[in-house]
Structure 1
Amino acid sequence: MKILKTILFVILGIVVICLTAALFIKKDYAVEKEVVISQPKAVVFDYIKMLKNQNNFSVWAQMDPNMKKEFKGTDGTAGFVSAWDSENGNVGKGEQEIKNIVEGERVDYKLHFIEPFESTSDAYMTTESVDSTHTKVKWGFVGRMNYPTNLMLAFMDMNEAIGKDFSTGLTNLKGLLEK
């Protein structure tokens, strides 16, 4: 019985230490990747502002070609929603809504993940002219993990976890637009 009490005390101590540590760990995270595409800014922006086009370059859309997709509204305008439902745990279920468009410059999205876990994050894509035939595209993602789940950020590199998928997606986008 004494051994059981000791084990229980040690486990309780570890839990208390973890919960205390989570008080001091950051809650916000951000990831941003970029690529230069050999196309004029207007061509690139007209393509990326259409949310359905993400299905052509996004790593997550390519993970499950059989996922169920539903669209609401007018693509390329604020309020347009793209919803997905996948059996693949890496894709899950959720929806993405265009929240704001600054024509020729930026598209802001709200991501609502439903499965495998519930969360909401913001994402964006921006375009910037490098010269008349080259455009820099940035794809970013910002989010927040509330206490105590923020403890995961001490062990997770969000830039590595999400950043590599953004980089691959941007490479796919470059390949599509430079054909």
Structure 2
Amino acid sequence: MAEFEVVRQAVISAEPSRVHGLIDDFHRWSIWSPWEDMDPQMLRTFSGADAGVGAKYAWSGNRKVGSGKMEILSSTDREILLRLEFERPWKATNEVTFTLAPNGPATEVTWRMRGERRGLMGLLTLVMPMDRMIGRDFEKGLARLRQAAQN
């Protein structure tokens, strides 16, 4: 087993409530998520609450995006906590947190994912750390989130 944490931050010139609305509603992730355009044929399913606690999102796509599901476990003005479960290409359950901190007229957003890599994926960590595998995706997603919130 190998524990990991991937963290990226960005300052977005928008009020926290505007940024929060883009994260707290899975229907709006298609605007900014770095993985949404990797498979135009990806199947998406929304269930539970429309947004906030209890909102659920599942996807199934090509080899690049795989399949899995997310659920919002808690949501406050300052933090949104998700459970992220990958089913394919490997099985894993991770904790994802978005922290929103007012920064003058802007919002500092911290995107954090924690989890464990087990079995073959744990061995892969020795060669390819999770930060290297998905850190750029987080950066791309934060840049898109910035663009969506500021427009």
TM-score range, shorter-chain basis? over 0.9
In the alignment, the residues of structure 2 paired with residue 60 and residue 164 of structure 1 have an alpha-carbon distance, to the nearest angstrom, of 11
Is residue 107 from structure 1 mapped to residue 73 from structure 2 by the alignment?
no
**Of the candidates 89, 108, 112, which is equivalent to residue 116 of structure 1?**
89
Counterpart secondary structure, 1:31: strand
Counterpart in 1 of 2:107?
Answer: 135
User: AA paired with 1:116?
Assistant: P
**Of the candidates 64, 72, 95, which is equivalent to residue 98 of structure 1?**
72
Counterpart secondary structure, 1:65: coil
Paired residue total:
151
Give yes or no for contact 1:27–1:147 (8 Å, CA) kept in 2. Answer: no
Which structure shows the higher helix fraction?
1
In the alignment, the residues of structure 1 paired with residue 85 and residue 72 of structure 2 have an alpha-carbon distance, to the nearest angstrom, of 12
In the alignment, the residues of structure 1 paired with residue 17 and residue 52 of structure 2 have an alpha-carbon distance, to the nearest angstrom, of 16
Give yes or no for contact 2:9–2:109 (8 Å, CA) kept in 1. Answer: yes
Give yes or no for contact 1:46–1:104 (8 Å, CA) kept in 2. Answer: no
**Of the candidates 139, 144, 161, which is equivalent to residue 116 of structure 2?**
144
Counterpart in 2 of 1:14?
Answer: none
TM-score with structure 1 setting the length: 0.79
Structure 1: gaps spanning 5 or more residues: 1-25
Counterpart in 1 of 2:143?
Answer: 171
Superposed CA deviations along residues 45-94 of structure 1, whole A, max 9, x for unmatched, are 222211222221111111112211111111322121100010x2110111
Counterpart secondary structure, 2:37: helix
Runs of 4+ displaced beyond 3 Å? none
Give yes or no for contact 1:73–1:79 (8 Å, CA) kept in 2. Answer: yes
Tell me the CA shift for residue 149 of structure 1.
Answer: 4.1
Superposed CA deviations along residues 126-146 of structure 1, whole A, max 9, x for unmatched, are 100011x20011111111023
Counterpart secondary structure, 1:61: coil
Indicate the RMSD between aligned Cα atoms, in angstroms.
Answer: 1.4
Task: Give the structure with higher Rg (CA).
Answer: 1
**Percent of pairs with identical residues:** 28
